Structure 1
Amino acid sequence: MTKVINRSKPGSCAKHLSSNRIQEILMILPMTIGFLLFSVYPIIWVIRWSCFNYNGFSTPVWCGLDNFIRVLTRDPAYWNSLLNTFIIAGLKMLVEIPMALILAVLVNNARLRGGKFFRVVFFLPSVFSIAVVGLIFSILFSAFNGIVNAVLWELGIINRNISWFGDKTHAMFVIILVSLWTTFGLNMIYFLMGLQNIPKSLYECASIDGASPLRQFFSITVPLLSPILQLVLMLSVLGTMKMTDLILVLTNGGPGGTTEVVMTYIFKYFFSYGDNAARDVQFGYASAMAVVTAVILGITTLIYLRVSRKMQSYDE
């Protein structure tokens, strides 16, 4: 029997491991630096200035928890904007999630002609600039020369132009519609990825047992897509909570601030924009609102994760 002799020099393994460790550190160093500069430092900056009265130019004045007390007790407009945010998120998910799932099932069907074409068409709105999309839809829903009103006139559905951005109900409808159009394609792709990982043998066995396509959908497809569904729900809620540019372009919070969402409300105090242009910039108060909103988002996420974990353990 031939004996294998290790002729490596003493300490060579240690040097090799050390060089690998250095390479690993160098590879993650750029991302770590970026994370510290663009995520950790802004968070610390916001938390710090939330305890000051500061407009970016004058000398900061320490005010303790006064900004937080103002948010929690003396600013109903902030809570109205937060309520609008949750309303948009809830109504949007009621339509978006079922529609994305159904379209994913249809596109995943091998018998559908042009399946790849429909995948591209449905996903395409997700790559458009939100500002451009908002501008296009603001023109489409214009009260006097908009295409939507013209089509409704021709169909005989209306006998006078609808001011889509003149009241809260119509404006919220347009916001939800545009937000839905820009995001359902991405969620469809998530569901499509999950569908392609489901073994075909399960459907074949169900067909042999006499299960209808509808029964297969609720007994096989939906349960096996539950992890993807949980991810899509969480991303949809967090994405809607961070909605800013679409509201600024479409309604700018109007009419009269009734369609303001929480991020646009905070944005206007940071940059003295829109309805808040006549007021002074209030970095301190805007920072306090950002901290409160972050806490609310964190609590919402934790509650959702806790509930989804319980539901998953119950299903198992």
Structure 2
Amino acid sequence: MSRLRKLGESYFFILPSLILTLVLGIYPILWAMRYMFYDYPGYGEEIFIGLGNFDRLMRDAEYWKSVWNTAVYAGGKLVVTLPISLILAVILNRAIRGKNILRAIYFMPTVLSTAVISIVFFNIFNSFNGILNQLLLKYNLISKSIDWLGPELAMVTTIIVAIWGAIGNYMLLFLAGLQSIPEDVYESASLDGANAVQKFFYITIPMLGPVLQMIIMLAITISLKGYESIMVLTEGGPIGKTEVMYLYVYRMFFPITSSSTMIQEIGYGSAVGFMSALIVGVITVVYFWVSRRLNRIF
């Protein structure tokens, strides 16, 4: 009886989280999966069309362009963010003056609202009266304003904003991994004559293997699903240059009228959301498979 009581108390404590997961997580997914097979604009009659939404999806050039944009956005973000975060973590893991203050400064973007950060960067990169263009013009570094949010540079600009916001988060995760490496290993390497570069590549990287695997997986999934800052900065424009998968899904459910003539399409949006989730899931599984194979080899 006592054991059952303790078990009941345990389930009682997790009950609020379980209810929230069911109501805000599981139920919306099941709700959306139902409408994948319907032509439903969010009001009026629900018309069953079977796989019609998926047939339309396969021929939707705009969506597949957003998939490509997502790959470019995620790839550009990861290639720059992870190395910088690791280097900062290694530097701030040493006994240097003010390292705790520097850690807090680098981590600060992580606790700020994505919308607020994006609005600040919009004012910085604004093509007409942005702070960056004003400074460059003031010091005669450019002869005319640069269109940072135009067709040629919009993707680069959104990647820069994403990098700035993500470095602190991954730096903290790398720091946690670095602090789990025994100092004795580094001391032994020093006695054997190893320099800082050799210690980094032959001790730090290998011993960070499990943590690095988790961080890369987390970074991939977050980057593939990210769209909030893009929505504020460019709304997916100009001319779809920064349209990413989940922003496309968002626009199906909540059309952004200032940059699009799209109407609300719950049925088709559900199919697009399912396909986007499937793409992210497949990429994650492939990454796990490759990383496990590499672990066995090395």
Q: Distance in 1 between matches of 2:209 and 2:226?
A: 26
Q: Distance in 2 between matches of 1:80 and 1:280?
A: 19
Q: State whether structure 2 residue 10 is matched by structure 1 residue 27.
A: no
Of 283, 291, 302, 2:266 maps to 283
Q: Percent identity?
A: 39
| Deviation by residue 1:70-97 (Cα, 9 ceiling, x = unmatched) | 111x201101111111111111111111
1:269, 1:276 within 8 Å by CA — same for their partners in 2?
A: no
Which residue identity is paired with 1:174? T
Of 149, 153, 160, 2:144 maps to 160
Give the match for residue 99 of structure 1: 84
- Cα RMSD of the aligned pairs, angstroms, is 1.3
Which structure's CA Rg is the greater one? 1
Structure 2: stretches of 5+ with no match in the other structure: none
Q: Distance in 2 between matches of 1:26 and 1:143?
A: 55
Q: State whether structure 2 residue 128 is matched by structure 1 residue 144.
A: yes
Q: Distance in 2 between matches of 1:43 and 1:191?
A: 33
Of 160, 178, 196, 2:161 maps to 178
Q: State whether structure 2 residue 29 is matched by structure 1 residue 46.
A: no
Give the match for residue 112 of structure 2: 128
Give the match for residue 78 of structure 1: 63
How far the C-alpha of 1:33 sits from its partner, in A, is: 1.5
Which residue identity is paired with 2:76? L
Give the match for residue 87 of structure 1: 72
Q: Distance in 2 between matches of 1:71 and 1:212?
A: 55
Structure 2 SS opposite 1:59: coil
Q: Distance in 1 between matches of 2:260 and 2:130?
A: 29
Q: Distance in 1 between matches of 2:218 and 2:141?
A: 37
Change (3 A) 1:230 1:31: same
Q: Distance in 2 between matches of 1:23 and 1:196?
A: 36
Structure 2 SS opposite 1:274: coil
Structure 2 SS opposite 1:207: helix
Q: State whether structure 2 residue 23 is matched by structure 1 residue 17.
A: no
Residues 190-229 of structure 1 mapped to structure 2, 5 A cutoff:
190-229=173-212
How far the C-alpha of 1:272 sits from its partner, in A, is: 2.1
Range that drifts further, 202-211 or 135-144 = 135-144
Which residue identity is paired with 1:140? I
Structure 1: stretches of 5+ with no match in the other structure: 1-14
Report the TM-score when normalising by structure 1.
0.91
How far the C-alpha of 1:275 sits from its partner, in A, is: 6.0
- Give the number of aligned pairs: 298
1:268, 1:274 within 8 Å by CA — same for their partners in 2?
A: no
2:237, 2:259 within 8 Å by CA — same for their partners in 1?
A: no
How far the C-alpha of 1:155 sits from its partner, in A, is: 4.1
How far the C-alpha of 1:152 sits from its partner, in A, is: 2.1
1:252, 1:274 within 8 Å by CA — same for their partners in 2?
A: no
Report the TM-score when normalising by structure 2.
0.97
2:154, 2:241 within 8 Å by CA — same for their partners in 1?
A: no
